[in-house]
Amino acid sequence: MSDILGNILTVLAVLTFGYLWGSIQNGVIIGKLFFKKDPREYGSHNSGGTNSGRLFGEKVGLLVIFLDMLKGAIAFWSVWAVIRFSGVREVFAMWDDGVFYCWLTFFGVVVGHCYPLYADFKGGKAVSSFMGSLGGTSWVSLIYCFATFFPLYRSKRIVSAASLVSGLAIVIITWTLAIAFRFSGWTEASSILMWNFGNGGGLFFCWEQATVITLEYGLLVFRHRENIKRMKAGSERPVDY
């Protein structure tokens, strides 16, 4: 197998795997299984945690958010394990030693979450899957996800506003850490901040992570375009549970 073909196939494989995994709609599954309702037929007509919480209660909404974050983490660590331990890097010269492909999996997950194959391409708005791509890989990232989102959310209880502002802050923080570790020479040392605490190698704060996070945030903004219009008009609805 040529190196070029191997890398092209790897890109397609990780994006497809991430997309199919991200297409699992936890809000729809829980709604239909336990409440005989599809959350996409009510409220904001999406399957994310906010709309599920409005329809089925706060605990269900939080469960959907957790599961949507978790599915991204599962996809990421699965690809990481395959690249690190299957011997695929010995078959062809994998670009960037496979690091970028691990992170690229997350972009597939977020696209699948928003436009799910299994649910008529009608999914969530990328918030939980976006947060999962950070908190599911690094314990430090999980801390600053909560630290940026919840203070904003508690002030107005408007999820869309908190998501957009905290998401932008997260993009800036991620790039700042990636650049800081790169130029300080501590890039490899930053791997201890990941959930595998440096074991296995290949994961750290880097431009690959920051690039994918930026792409995800762009999709998050696009998915919130109607919310942005309502916020400008002063008619965006706060969470009332």
- How far apart are the C-alpha atoms of 111 and 117, rounded to whole Å? 10
Worst-scoring range by mean pLDDT, 24-28, 46-50, 142-146, 174-178? 46-50
Average pLDDT estimate for 167-181: 90
End-to-end Cα separation, the chain, in angstroms: 56
DSSP state, 125? -
**Beta partners for 138?**
194
DSSP state, 193? G
pLDDT in tens, 5-33: 989 999 999 999 999 999 999 988 999 99
- How far apart are the C-alpha atoms of 147 and 112, rounded to whole Å? 27
- How far apart are the C-alpha atoms of 37 and 151, rounded to whole Å? 32
- How far apart are the C-alpha atoms of 53 and 237, rounded to whole Å? 14
pLDDT in tens, 41-85: 887 778 888 888 888 888 888 899 899 989 988 999 999 989 988
Q: What pLDDT shows up at residue 240?
A: 57
- How far apart are the C-alpha atoms of 179 and 199, rounded to whole Å? 22
Q: What pLDDT shows up at residue 218?
A: 95
pLDDT in tens, 74-119: 999 999 989 988 888 888 888 888 889 999 999 999 999 999 998 7
- Maximum mean pLDDT: which of 36-40, 108-112, 126-130, 157-161: 108-112
Q: How many CA atoms lie within 13 A of 92 on its CB side?
A: 13
Interacting residues of 108 by C-beta distance below 8 A, sequence separation 6+:
14, 15, 16, 17, 18, 19, 21, 22, 75
Q: What pLDDT shows up at residue 154?
A: 74
Task: Note the Cα 224 to chain centre separation in Å.
Answer: 15
Evaluate if residue 238 carries a pLDDT over 80: no
Q: Which residue has tokens 């007509």?
A: 45
Q: What pLDDT shows up at residue 201?
A: 62
**Amino acid sitting at position 204:** F
Helices (H), 35-187: 49-56, 58-85, 99-114, 127-135, 139-156, 159-184
> Which residue would you say has higher pLDDT here, 232 or 214?
214
| Residue 79 contacts residue 137 (beta carbons within 8 Å) | no
Helix axes 139-156, 159-184, angle to 10 degrees: 150
pLDDT in tens, 185-215: 777 777 888 887 777 666 788 889 999 999 9
Domain boundaries, the chain: 3-233
Q: Which residue has tokens 């790039």?
A: 175
Q: What pLDDT shows up at residue 103?
A: 92
What backbone torsions phi and psi does residue 199 show, to the nearest 5 degrees? Answer: -80, 130
- How far apart are the C-alpha atoms of 27 and 23, rounded to whole Å? 11
